[in-house]
Amino acid sequence: MAATPYGPSISGDRAQAAVAAAAAEAKKRGWAMNIAVVGPGGGLISFLKMDDAQLASISIAQHKARVAAPFRRPTKVFEDAVQKGGLNYIMTLDDVIASRGGIPLIENDKLIGAIGCSGGTGSQDEVVCQLGAATVNK
């Protein structure tokens, strides 16, 4: 399977739309989240700390997005590798986070960024991120 090529960076407006969609879902469910969108190289494009979202999750949300973009895969892949596959060496790779809630953003078969969410359980983070990613990933 060929890796998705990198494309131009997501625009600020589209990044904010992804953050807004994720935040709307989190608010609807009563979850306080931190939500970050980065470009293909991991540079921060848009970020939201929802009211009452835990402070420690600010850097975690950004980290999840920064991993999903350059590695071109959801961070759940790393979580599964460690938890289900016993591939603990994954944790020795630079800038990896083995926690779901980071999802690449693909447009016209090219990676234009990634979204990362943190503040709830791993499955809550993933649900919110999937809604934000759906604004780009069609």
**What are the extents of the domains in the chain?**
12-133
Model pLDDT for residues 104-136, shown as the tens digit of each residue: 999 999 999 999 999 999 999 999 999 999 999
pLDDT averaged over every residue in the chain: 96
The CATH number of 12-133 is 3.30.450.150
Task: Kindly tell me if the per-residue pLDDT of 57 is higher than 70.
Answer: yes
User: What pTM did the predictor assign?
Assistant: 0.95
Task: Kindly tell me if the per-residue pLDDT of 1 is higher than 60.
Answer: no
SS3 string, the chain, reads CCCCCECCCCCHHHHHHHHHHHHHHHHHHCCCCEEEEECCCCCEEEEEECCCCCCHHHHHHHHHHHHHHHHCCCCHHHHHHHHCCCCHHHHHCCCCCCCCCEEEEEECCEEEEEEEEECCCHHHHHHHHHHHHCCCCC
C-beta neighbour count of 7 within 10 angstroms = 17
